[in-house]
Structure 1
Amino acid sequence: MNRTLGLRLAGVLTLMFGFGLSAVATQPDGGHAGFMWPVGLASGALVISPRRATPYVVAGITTLTSITFLIGGYPVGVSLGYSVAVTIEAIVAQRVLTLGWTRRWSLLEPNDLGRFFFACALSALTGAGGFAAVSAANSFGVPWRVAIAVFVTHLASEALLLGLFKTYSGANAVYYGNLERIAAWVLTIGVTTAAFIPREMPSLAFLVIPLLGWVAFRAPMREGLLQLLTVGIISSTLSNSGYGPFSDPALMDRLNPEAHHLPQQAFLIACAMVTIPFAMAVSMQRASASQALRERARSERLVQSARGIAIIGTDELGRINLFSPGAEAILGYAPEEVFGQSTRMFHTEAELARHARELGTDPTYVSVVRATGQLPPGTARTWQFVRKDGIPRTLSLILSPITDDHGAFVGYVATADDITDRIDAQNALQKALDTERRAVKRLTEVDQVKDAFVSSVSHELRTPMTNIVGYLELMQDGVYGVPTPGQTDAMSRIDLNARRLLTLIDDLLTLSSMESIDQRRRRGQVDLVGVVQRAVEIVRPGLENRELTFAVDAPANPVSITGDNGELERLVINLATNAVKFTPDGGTITVRLAGPRDGCGPVLEVQDTGIGIREEDRSMLFTRFFRTSHAHELNVPGSGLGLSIAKAITEVHGGKISASSVHGQGSTFRVEFPRQEAAAAR
């Protein structure tokens, strides 16, 4: 508990003790109820005390209450009993108002007002029962009369004092000026005093109620409650002193001493029943109005800050009554230029006709707007607006109808985003894409022409080259005479290069057929074991003059896949020939075939102990006409098409080819074929 709250609690308990002493000291002779004991202060102390401090506050209330009754001359048993009853009464009020410490008490809602009067009545009833029980137990007065007196006086005390302990939210935004405040206080004090001095004019007391209503209407709630308390203090003080309509001896003689002050207490209860609900209703209205003003100010700030969005509002006739800064920036008009004008000013006849066609309505502005407003909420349509300078702008617009609290149509609000630049960018992008498509189409046509040219030239070259090789063989065999040693050497060189040229032509034709979409392949079940064996037999003659170890590791049983027998043989030949070329004498070449296993298809590997591949060359291995830098250095013959052909054949059969190598130690080329199920699906 902080120091401020501690001082506040001490002050409340001190006031309770002081007013309690005054109450028992001024009670009429023969009274047994303690007159108007300030139980409202006891309840208020519990309402504002923290939960952990409540036991100490309860002990303080009980102790101070018993002391006031003892000083007032009450018997010890009665004093202790009354103090316990007052404490219980205060606890009941606190528990009802705070719902058992689960919330803070305020007067902000109608339920709060109901709970307040219920707490006052229930606590007063509890005190009346407690006092009556103590009276009966100690034969101190007539219990039922004591109960009535306690109920009325304690109800008045709770009603006048408890309201001062509510939580204030500071929502009262309307305050009257200082002059009005002074006048209100002067009139309240003056009228109350004037009304409670004469005994013969009880009607004067009713003049106080309009004043309290005026204060409740104009002043903050706290000030209205303070003026209500002031009326209570003045009326009680004058009544105790024998003044006012409620102290007339003729009236007092007819009443029991316990009931002498009940008329004045009833008057205060009536004042509280008028002032508190009125003040609360005015406070709620002020809070609602303040909230509405804040929401309106917030909406205006949002409209003013939305610089990139045009917000245009109209009345039910389509006349502009809202034109945001964003609309001003986009359309170039000042608000005073468009207020009262129809939004028709922003659109051309052609634009209205377009929307009429798309919406299926009459080509009139009213029909188009009505049809647009009837679209599902949030539906955006593209509108072309004409700026003040005549430049058209494309806006994405959402049109929403506005209704009042009774559901009556009062106008439209349109929110629009300028998408002109976005549309221009999309058009430019579309043009670029169209240009790119045309370029790709031309490149495809060029590529097709190139492939056709390569294929045609290769075919045309193959026939004369075959004739050349044939005549060379005849010359080497001596058909045209025995050649001299020099001629034999020259013919050998011609034959070697002619055959290299034939190989290049074959590679070009093969690669062209691999890349041709129209190529028809002889697909069927192919045994890879047989493919490997036939390919090895084709490669072996090239090993006659080489000191190389050539091994084949293949299963004994057939390994079948779906494919083209000739192309698969070419795949193995190319990989094996490549290994032979790049493996120095003394090395080893292994062609390994593994059947399907673990859900994977067959795997073909060609491993050598050759010169290997440098790191910088590996990414280009399967590129057409690429030859490694090491191959150039060693002058190893080749066209650079072997691996690209192998890659093309592998991909045509749904497989994947890869290479691993350590420079100077050898290379391994691995071909992974798909499973038979995947191949069948392809």
Structure 2
Amino acid sequence: MTRVQALRLVALLAAMFGLGLGAILYGPEGGHIGYMWPVGLATGVLILVPRRLVPILCVTIALLATASFAIGDFDTSIAAGFGLGIALEALVTQRVITVGWSRRWSLAEVNDLGRYALACTAGALVGALVFAGVAQLNDFAVPWRIGVATFTTHLASQAVLVALFRDHKGPRTSYGATERILVWSVTLGYTVVAFIPTELPSLAFLIIPLLGWVAFRAPTRESLLLLVAVASISSTMSNEGLGPFSDGYLVNRLDPEFRYLPQQSFLIACAMVTIPFSMAVAMQRWSALQALRERARSELLVQSARGIAIIGTDRLGRINLFSPGAVSILGFEPEEVYGQSTRMFHTEAELARHAEELGSDPTYVSVVQATGQLPPGTARVWQFVRKDGIPRTLSTILSPVTDDNGDFIGYVATADDITDRIDAEAALEKALRTERRAVRRLTEIDQVKDAFVSSVSHELRTPITNIVGYLELMMDGVYGEPSARQADAMARIDMNSRRLLTLIDDLLTLSSMESIDHRRRRSQVDLGAVVRRAEEIVRPSLDQRDLRLDLELPAEPVTVVGDAGELERLVINLATNAVKFTPDGGRIVVRLLPGTGTAGPALEVVDTGIGIHAEDKAMLFTRFFRTSHAHELGVPGSGLGLSIAKAIADVHGGTISAESVHGAGSTFRVDFPESA
């Protein structure tokens, strides 16, 4: 709570105590309830404060009310009971009017007025019951009379004062300073005049039309303040024995508790006229303001919708709305089309097309009526003709417009220019057709390439195999014991022939990996078994080398979906590559890592070889690429092994990577997707 709010709260409590004490001390003789104690201010205090402070304020109100009755010579027990009753009444009124703190108190709709009347009545009834009970327990006056008098006076207090604490929001009015001065002067002056004579009760009720005029013209809060002012004047003058409700004939015939009930009933009548009338006028103002805002918003939307044409017509189809978007798209100015039929935008061929699609007569009126009967929001593509004769294609939604009585008054059409989009779609479709032809051509070329590579490779493989076979016979001495120079030459021929065979095998493998039509035998494959079979194939190449090859495999099977033969080739290529580039005395580790909850299994081949230069890493998996260091050391190879390994990893949904430091070994890793 801010300092200003705290000061306002203190001022309200002080006013409540002062007015309550004045009502007790200066009330009519013979009364036992403190005349018109301002219990409405107590309710207002509880409405204003936060929920956490309500218990404290209830105690404060009870203490202040008790003190006012005690100062007014009421017995302590009676004063305490009345003080408790006022606090309880204020709490009940506040709870009902704010629906248990679930919403702010306002007078914005009819339900608010009903809740306001219910809250005031319920609170006054609670106060009446408590006051009557206190009177019964303390043998004080006549309890039922105490209850009736309390109910009437407290209902008047609640009805007049609680409305001041509503959430004050409302539109401005044309109520000016001159009219304000005149209305306040006339109303207050007439109230004083009406409450001077005691013989003319009808004069008092002429105040109600004045309050109604203020409720009609002034803001709600001002009409409520004037109501409080009228209530204060009439109560004070009645308390002084003036006015129509202090007539001696009437006063002498009423019980002391009931002498001021006519005046309180008059105040209730004033409140029940002023507050509903003021609320109704405020609601009407709000509705009018909202209608104006909505109309301004609609006009702003129409004016700002530059990319959309909005065209409105009357019931005869004559244009009466032509938005800036329509001007931009169609090129006509509003004054050129107002009063004209929208038929001016369409050709005969376009009308005939729509008539055929809608099954209507080929007249413009029939086509429009058939379009208007389509489900709301249905868009149809229309071709419009611009002022310069250029056709534009618009996606159009035609909606009938009705008035408040539901009578048809015209159409409104919203149209989006889709000409460029249709042209772009046509160009895209043409490009897609061209691309499909290119793909078919590439597929044919790929098939021819595969057939060529396969044919040539087989044709090369057959004679080379024969060459290798005869070389083996010659080296074994079948055709005579060769000399040392002959044996060396034949060894070189054999080595290069075998390299050529390996190159042919690699080309065949790479061709099959890249072939679109290549069919793979996919199944659940245990990578551990694949690694073991690959190790058996690579192991013989270590017989003449001082190298150590170790396997690190988990105890449990590690499965992926794939082709077992291709996966075996992957492991062989990576392991063979490590063997070629690891000097004697080194170590090679083939490691299989099982999958985790967020990643699939992985294969690692780690060596302690010569490593890779940083500038060679980018080309490492490119076909026929060999590192500069491999050339320098004369390491044999075709440059296809790693590209084949990458192709196998790709077709299995995996990724291959390499980490290396020149001179400190390399690590090749293949990450597989999770097995389904």
Same fold (TM over 0.5): yes
Compared CA separation, residues 639 and 409, structure 1 to 2 (3 A): same
The equivalent of 2:275 in structure 1 is 276
Question: Does residue 187 of structure 2 align to residue 188 of structure 1?
Answer: yes
For residues 146 and 577 of structure 1, do their structure 2 counterparts lie closer, same or farther at Cα, with a shift above 3 Å needed? closer
- Determine the C-alpha separation between the residues in 2 that align with 1:331 and 1:495: 83
Mapped to 1, the partners of 2:323 and 2:379 lie a distance apart of 19
Q: CA deviation at 1:282?
A: 2.1
What amino acid does structure 2 have at the position aligned with 1:38? M
DSSP-derived class of the 2:41 partner: helix
For 2:266, give the aligned amino acid: F
Are residues 1:22 and 2:26 paired?
A: yes
- Matched residue, 2:222: 223
Secondary structure at the counterpart of residue 37 of structure 1: coil
Q: Which residue of 1 aligns with 2:168?
A: 169
1:95 counterpart residue number: 92
Contact 1:131 1:147 in 2 (8 A): yes
Report the Cα distance in structure 2 between the residues aligned to 1:80 and 1:593, rounded to whole angstroms: 94
Deviation at 1:257, TM superposition (A): 5.2
Q: Report the alpha carbon displacement of residue 216 of structure 1 after superposing the two structures with TM.
A: 1.9
Residue pairs, 1:564-575, within 5 angstroms: none
Report the Cα distance in structure 2 between the residues aligned to 1:410 and 1:653, rounded to whole angstroms: 67
Residue 554 (structure 2) aligns with: none
**After alignment, is 458-467 or 175-184 more displaced?**
458-467
Please tell me whether the aligned partners of residues 469 and 498 of structure 1 are also in contact (alpha carbons under 8 angstroms). Answer: no
Indicate the residue corresponding to 2:112 in structure 1.
112
Name the counterpart of 2:60: 56
Give 3-state SS (helix, strand or coil) of 1:2's partner.
helix
Give the Cα separation in 1 of the matches to 2:484 and 2:374.
99
Q: How far did 1:329 drift?
A: 3.8
Quick check: 1:11 aligned with 2:54? Answer: no
Q: Matched residues in 2 for 1:497 and 1:334: separation?
A: 89
The one-letter amino acid of 2:22's match is: G
Relative to structure 1, the CA distance from residue 442 to residue 17 in structure 2 (aligned partners, 3 Å threshold; closer, same or farther) is same
C-alpha displacement at 1:171, in angstroms? 1.3
CA distance in 2, matches of 1:572, 1:140: 108
| Distance change in 2, residues 1:351/1:549 (3 Å) | farther
Task: Give the corresponding residue for 2:69.
Answer: 65
- CA distance change for structure 1 residues 326 and 658 in 2, over 3 Å: closer, same or farther? closer
Partner Cα separation in structure 1 for residue 180 and residue 40 of structure 2: 29
- The answer to whether the Cα contact below 8 Å between 1:66 and 1:80 also exists between their aligned partners in 2 is no
Q: How many residues align?
A: 644
Q: How far apart in 2 are the matches of 1:666 and 1:547? A: 21
Q: Distance in 1 between matches of 2:135 and 2:608?
A: 119
Is contact 1:331–1:386 with CA below 8 Å preserved after alignment? yes
Q: Give the direction of change, closer, same or farther, for the CA distance of 1:511–1:195 in structure 2 (3 Å limit).
A: closer
Residue 218 to residue 632, structure 1, CA distance change in 2 (3 Å): same
Give the partner amino acid of 1:92.
E
Change (3 A) 1:80 1:435: same
Q: 8 Å contact 1:89–1:123 — kept in the other structure? A: no
- Percent sequence identity over matched residues? 62
In 1, the alpha carbon distance for the partners of 2:319 and 2:455 equals 75
Q: Provide the residue aligned with 2:557 in structure 1.
A: none
8 Å CA contact 2:67–2:79 kept in 1: the answer is no
Deviates more, 1:2-11 or 1:307-316: 307-316
TM-score, with normalisation over the residues of structure 1? 0.69
Cα deviation digits, residues 92-148 of structure 1 (max 9, x gap)? 144224339733443333343334334444454555556666667777766655555
Q: Which residue of 1 aligns with 2:212?
A: 213
Query: What code does the residue aligned with 1:224 have?
Result: S
CA distance in 1, matches of 2:520, 2:89: 99
Deviation by residue 1:186-229 (Cα, 9 ceiling, x = unmatched): 33234444444455544444433322222222222233233334
Instruction: Supply the AA of the counterpart residue of 1:272.
Output: A
Conserved 8 A contact 1:402-1:411:
yes
Change (3 A) 1:617 1:100: same
Work out whether 1:37 is the aligned partner of 2:61: no
Structure 2 matches for 1:659-670, cutoff 5 A? none
2:269 and 2:132 mapped to 1: Cα distance?
25
Q: SS at 1:32's partner residue?
A: coil
**1:173 aligned counterpart, secondary structure:** coil
Instruction: Give the whole-Å Cα distance in 2 for the aligned partners of 1:507 and 1:219.
Output: 100
Provide the C-alpha distance between the structure 2 equivalents of 1:490 and 1:140, rounded to a whole number of angstroms. Answer: 140
Specify the alignment match of 2:596 in structure 1. Answer: none
Question: In the aligned structure 2, how far is the partner of 1:625 from the partner of 1:175?
Answer: 91
Shift of 1:8: 3.2
CA contact (8 A) 2:656 2:668 kept: yes
Q: Which residue of 1 aligns with 2:526?
A: none
Summarize the Cα distance change of 1:332–1:495 in structure 2 as closer, same or farther, 3 Å threshold. Answer: same
- Consecutive unaligned residues of structure 1, counting only runs of 5 or more, are 71-75, 477-483, 555-562, 595-602
Q: Which moved more, 1:450-459 or 1:413-422?
A: 450-459
Query: Does the CA contact (< 8 Å) of 1:47 and 1:98 recur in 2?
Result: no
Matches of 2:275 and 2:669, distance apart in 1:
94
RMSD, aligned α-carbons: 6.2
Using the TM superposition, give the Cα deviation of residue 167 of structure 1 relative to its aligned residue in structure 2, in angstroms: 1.6
Give SS of 1:99's match. helix
TM-score (norm 2): 0.69
